Chains A and B, each alone.
Chain A
Amino acid sequence: MRGATATSSPARGGRPRRNRADTKAGYAFLTPWLLGFGLLTAGPMLMSLYLAFTDYNLFRAPTFVGLDNFTALFSDPRFLKSAQVTAVYVVVGVPVKLAAALAVAVLLNARHRGQGTYRSMFYAPSLIGASVSVAIVWRAMFIDDGVADRIQQLLGFPAGGWVGDPDMTMPMMILLAVWQFGAPMVIFLAGLKQIPAELHEAAAVDGAGPLRRFVSVTIPMLSPVLFFNLLLETIGAFQVFSSAYIISGGTGGPADSTLFYTFYLYLKGFTEFRMGYASAMAWVLVIVVGVITAVLFRTSRAWVHYTGDVR
């Protein structure tokens, strides 16, 4: 098995036969992607890099302000709050979600009857979790006197909805993320299926118990998939937007406790039309995500274990 090394070169085994007709055809077939990349990704990224150093409100021409946006960012309490909210969400939410995904994947991997049905059922929330519909349901369930409030009163906890309590909105948002554990679970399950049974049997013969086999066989064999999930979920978690928007009624409240990074970026760019400032925020996000990705790739050499089919 080869894990999620997404950067492997295309078309292994392709012949090095390269001619002008192929070159022309290659670029012809790639035209949509090249246009999309140039016009809608690379160009806009450069433009936003420029805007990050300007004051621009869509109506007057941008004026160059140097590093003002960036220095303003770090003395903007709402910006710092949004960075903090997002950091907590990523650092707590992603591991909890992945742990849930892995636990259920291991459970389902036991190949009992009905495995396929459970797999599909558990995947379903991943498909609808970011929708407005689910956000509305979440809000209704966690509002004052909502279902969650009733249940916690029944169990003897203090009354109060989660939506209006700045200390409880984060657990509520993380629960919503964890509820969507199905997508990483499906990927874990596919990885588990590729672990040769002989490895487990050999370990069992050597006297390893289930826990020892999990730590010494399953985890190392699954590490490429774990790495892939960690990367995707982390990047995804940085971009949470619509659920927070709907649940907080477009405010990020109470007390900015649901003011996620991209949410604040949206408010700055599209309600205050401070597009230079918002572009600076966007680039800070790109850099942070880039650094985290680089760190993950670097450290992965120490803990991600590739077997077979070595490049």
Chain B
Amino acid sequence: MTTATVTSASLRARRRPRGRSIGFHVLALVVAVVILYPGVWMVVSSFKPSGDIVGNVNLWPETWTLENYTSALGGIGGVSFWTFVLNSLILAVGSVVGVVLSASVSAYAFARISFPGRGVFFAIMIGTMLLPFHVVIIPQYILFNSMGMVNTFLPLLAPKFLATEAFFVFLMVQFLRGLPRELDEAARIDGCGHWGIFRRVLLPLMRPAVITSSIFAFIWSWNDFLGPLLYLKRPDTYPLPIALRLYVDQTSVSDYGAQMAMAVLALVPVLLFFVVFQRYLVDGVATQGLKG
């Protein structure tokens, strides 16, 4: 496969006329401009005076201002902006810890241990990926409400610690299948049980899958809107997306500048993750559809 790719690539490189390369870049750049426009428009708008945002097609502001950011950082209804950031961070970091712990051990069971029922459970696990999440929100709400957990982070974090997001389990199962079984055998000969094999041999090797899962878990939690909308009703428990909605409702139509500034601030961590870990993210998505 590798050699075939190399030869065909070099063949194609030889055959490819220069004009086609220019054509490629023109097309790709057109797509890039369309794709990036909303994002760039958002960032630039956040530095424009509020009255100058809607309807201003131009990307370059006539006057730059930081006023939007000062009003965005001022918080909402007596709750500091940093409280929302802290809430979002607790939820996102908690999700990462929960997902990594629960998905890795579950994946080890599916990929490496032979036990009755494994095939059935694996099929069910895959099936839950296709299940519309909304079928469980009402009973889950009733359950967590009856335990007095509304307005706490527990209803949002508990599912992460119980491996309910099959995407992560599947991703790690896929990764584990790629690791040679001889590793397990060698560790077993050295006296390791399943826990030892998992903890000392395979988990360290699963680093790429753990990193990919962590980034996705962080970003999905950071952007999650429906979960916090259901469970967090007190402003001091709001994470950023809910605070942002409150902000849009309260500032009415006029203060687009502050809305844009807050929208940008809410996306900063996601964009940072993207810039630093883009390879892990894109490769993680690519493996999801293949190998199976």
Interface residues of A (CB under 8 A from B): 1-18, 22-23, 25-37, 39-41, 43-45, 47-48, 51, 58, 104, 107-108, 110-114, 118-128, 130-134, 136-138, 140-141, 143, 145-147, 149-151, 179, 182-183, 186-187, 189-191, 193-194, 196-198, 201, 225, 228-229, 231, 235, 238-239, 241-242, 245-246, 249-250, 262, 265-266, 269-270, 275, 278-279, 282-283, 285-286, 289, 293
Is there contact, CB below 8 Å, between B134 and A33?
no
Is there contact, CB below 8 Å, between B31 and A48?
no
Pick the residue among B1, B54, B131, B138 that contacts A51 (CB under 8 A).
Answer: B138
Q: Give per-residue flags for B1-18: 1 if the beta carbon is below 8 A from chain A beta carbons, else 0.
A: 100110111011100000
The answer to whether residues A111 and B41 also contact, given A48-B135, A122-B31, A122-B35 and a CB cut-off of 8 A, is no
Is there contact, CB below 8 Å, between B38 and A265?
no
Expressed in whole angstroms, the Cα–Cα distance for A190 and B116 within the complex equals: 35
Flag whether B137 is at the interface (Cβ < 8 A): yes
Pick the residue among A137, A179, A250, A289 that contacts B130 (CB under 8 A).
Answer: A289
Closest A residue to B286 by CB, please name it: A190
B-side interface mostly: helix
Expressed in whole angstroms, the Cα–Cα distance for A36 and B263 within the complex equals: 33
Is there contact, CB below 8 Å, between A11 and B244?
no
Q: How far is the CB of A269 from chain B (nearest CB, A)?
A: 5
Closest B residue to A143 by CB, please name it: B54
Is there contact, CB below 8 Å, between A10 and B122?
yes
Expressed in whole angstroms, the Cα–Cα distance for A4 and B288 within the complex equals: 8
Pick the residue among A121, A132, A193, A242 that contacts B263 (CB under 8 A).
Answer: A132
Instruction: List the one stretch of B75-83, B160-168, B203-211 in contact with chain A.
Output: B160-168
Closest B residue to A194 by CB, please name it: B290
Is there contact, CB below 8 Å, between A285 and B266?
no
B residues near A189, Cβ cutoff 8 Å: 286
B residues near A44, Cβ cutoff 8 Å: 135-136, 138-140, 143
Is there contact, CB below 8 Å, between B28 and A137?
no
Is there contact, CB below 8 Å, between A33 and B163?
yes
Flag whether B191 is at the interface (Cβ < 8 A): no
Q: Give per-residue flags for B203-247: 1 if the beta carbon is below 8 A from chain A beta carbons, else 0.
A: 000000000000000010001011001100000000011001100
Pick the residue among B7, B115, B285 that contacts A186 (CB under 8 A).
Answer: B285
B residues near A143, Cβ cutoff 8 Å: 54
Q: How far is the CB of A109 from chain B (nearest CB, A)?
A: 11
The answer to whether residues A32 and B162 also contact, given A6-B170, A136-B244, A293-B130 and a CB cut-off of 8 A, is yes
Flag whether B119 is at the interface (Cβ < 8 A): yes
The answer to whether residues A179 and B35 also contact, given A36-B102, A136-B244 and a CB cut-off of 8 A, is yes
Flag whether B175 is at the interface (Cβ < 8 A): no
B residues near A114, Cβ cutoff 8 Å: 25, 28
Flag whether B106 is at the interface (Cβ < 8 A): yes
Q: Give per-residue flags for B176-214: 1 if the beta carbon is below 8 A from chain A beta carbons, else 0.
A: 010001000000000001110010000000000000000
Given A33-B109, A130-B223, A262-B134, 6 additional A-B pairs, CB 8 A: A6-B170, A36-B162, A119-B282, A182-B35, A231-B130, A293-B130
Pick the residue among B32, B105, B256, B264 that contacts A140 (CB under 8 A).
Answer: B256
Is there contact, CB below 8 Å, between B28 and A9?
no
Q: How far is the CB of B183 from chain A (nearest CB, A)?
A: 14
Flag whether B111 is at the interface (Cβ < 8 A): yes
Expressed in whole angstroms, the Cα–Cα distance for A252 and B266 within the complex equals: 24
Q: How far is the CB of A181 from chain B (nearest CB, A)?
A: 9
Is there contact, CB below 8 Å, between A286 and B132?
yes
Expressed in whole angstroms, the Cα–Cα distance for A48 and B162 within the complex equals: 20
Is there contact, CB below 8 Å, between B41 and A123?
no
Q: Which of B137, B256, B259 has the most CB of A within 10 A?
A: B137
Is there contact, CB below 8 Å, between A37 and B128?
yes
Interface residues of B in 106-156 (CB under 8 A from A): 106, 108-116, 118-119, 121-126, 128-143, 145
Q: How far is the CB of A259 from chain B (nearest CB, A)?
A: 14
Flag whether B287 is at the interface (Cβ < 8 A): yes
Q: How far is the CB of B19 from chain A (nearest CB, A)?
A: 12
A residues near B91, Cβ cutoff 8 Å: none
Closest A residue to B133 by CB, please name it: A239
B residues near A279, Cβ cutoff 8 Å: 138-139
Is there contact, CB below 8 Å, between A285 and B106?
no
Flag whether B89 is at the interface (Cβ < 8 A): no
Expressed in whole angstroms, the Cα–Cα distance for A196 and B21 within the complex equals: 22
Flag whether B96 is at the interface (Cβ < 8 A): no
Is there contact, CB below 8 Å, between A286 and B110?
no
Is there contact, CB below 8 Å, between B260 and A190?
no
Flag whether B86 is at the interface (Cβ < 8 A): no
